[in-house]
Amino acid sequence: MTCSVDNSNKLAFIDDALTERAKMGHLRTLQSLIPQNAVSVVKNGQTLLNFSSNDYLGLSKHPALIKGGQEYLNRYGTGATASRLVVGTYDIHQQLEEKLAKLCGKEAALLFNTGFQANSTIIPALVDKKSLVLCDRLSHNSILQGILLSGARWTRYKHNDLGHLDTLLKKGISQGYNRILIATETVFSMEGDQSDVDGLINLSQKYNTLLYLDDAHALGIMGEQGMGLTAYKSGIDISIGTFGKAFGSFGAFITASKQMCNYLINCCPGFIYTTALPPAIIGAINAALDLIPTLDKERSYLRQQVNYLQNNLRKLGYQVINSDSPIIPVIIGDETKALKLSQYLEKYKILATAIRPPTVPPNTSRIRLVLSSQHTKEQINYLIDILKKWHEH
């Protein structure tokens, strides 16, 4: 007896998936924007104040980054032409890695093309089906994808609950795993709150585990000279940083020991089989790296505005997650209401995206407000006034 495939209906699963998403109110579409400056964009012909960008220091439009990118573009061309292990390692790649390691107070650094690529391919190079991974319940999807690809046994500990993590570590140690990995973010992308980095280091050392920290949303705005919450700290096996947020560019990197970097150069598919970052990107990152340590004034202003906005939103009766980062989630709960608030804000020329499940847990839909050091006090007060009108209407 032979079986046949109904090729006339081979894409039915796509229609089914999109129909189901639409039915649940989860269907997404792309919205085209034209950036004007660090804090404004044009959408459908209307200029909007942007309170959704991760450009925390406004560096994506900084003349020094543009100049740095142009200089490397003119000198090295448009592409690196191959993977790092073939002919894609230019002198500028290695120079940038050395500079990153030094400024982060670490032994070595290694460039990756994106944070998602790094998390989803490094973790499977560290653990396997005989391993255990313990991650924070609210860890980024890229960390979860890496864990799933590894085939490791995994458990999520309660958000920022090191007591629960300690309990899981005690249990895991007795179960004969070949290694245990703790993986989490330092600043959570949807919550804006922080991990206890020192507490995680202590637990990792207590149980002799691997410690993997994604520092993407802290890099540039927190830590010594703005180099993140993992900078100059020992006891972290791998720290991830990205350049698409406070650095205003694109790409990612890790800091680790030379031994770990050599291991990943040889054993991480996401590094081995990917064309290296293009020269213009390296030039922009290099320029940002010169600027970041000098921006203490901007970081101080940003912290002040974060506190100011949070306090005012609470006075208005909004539920705001306590955050020391520029990420200020305003919890609405209901998905439809969150979307309506986003649309209301856009009516008043404010771009503030609604974040809904499955990106966040059910019944926690929110407006994820994000501040930049380039937002003026007047612009922030305008946002507060419009949110006050919504709350009262």
Distance CA 57, CA 41 (A): 16
- Among 14, 282, 226, which residue's Cα sits nearest to residue 103? 226
Q: Which residues contact 156 (CB under 8 A, 6 or more apart)?
A: 134, 135, 136, 137, 139
- Among 216, 197, 232, 214, which residue's Cα sits nearest to residue 103? 232
Burial zone of 18 (CB within 10 Å; 0-12 exposed, 13-18 middle, 19+ buried): exposed
- Is 217 tagged catalytic? yes
- Is 189 tagged catalytic? yes
**Residue type at 297 in one-letter notation:** K
Considering 62, 93, 106, 140, which one is annotated as catalytic? 140
DSSP states along 276-294 = PPPHHHHHHHHHHHHHGGG
Distance CA 56, CA 226 (A): 12
Determine the Cα angle at 138 with ends 114 and 23, to 5°.
Answer: 90
- Is 26 tagged catalytic? no
Is 108:257 a contact under the CB 8 Å cutoff?
A: yes
Distance CA 314, CA 308 (A): 10
- Among 385, 379, 386, 393, which residue's Cα sits nearest to residue 51? 379
- Is 54 tagged catalytic? yes
What is the side-by-side order of every strand in the sheet holding 238-242? 108-112, 252-256, 238-242, 210-214, 180-185, 132-136, 153-157
Considering 191, 193, 214, 215, which one is annotated as catalytic? 214
Structure token digits, residue 229: 């919450």
Is 263:269 a contact under the CB 8 Å cutoff?
A: no
Considering 185, 191, 193, 215, which one is annotated as catalytic? 185
Q: Give the other-Cβ count within 10 Å of 343's Cβ.
A: 10
Distance CA 381, CA 308 (A): 10
Considering 189, 204, 342, 373, which one is annotated as catalytic? 189
Considering 217, 233, 335, 375, which one is annotated as catalytic? 217
Distance CA 229, CA 216 (A): 10
Taking each helix axis as running N to C, give the angle between helix 377-392 and helix 296-315, from 0 to 180 degrees, rounded to the nearest 10: 20
- Is 191 tagged catalytic? no
- Is 185 tagged catalytic? yes
Considering 50, 52, 54, 142, which one is annotated as catalytic? 54
- Is 140 tagged catalytic? yes
Report the catalytic residues: 54, 140, 185, 189, 214, 217, 245
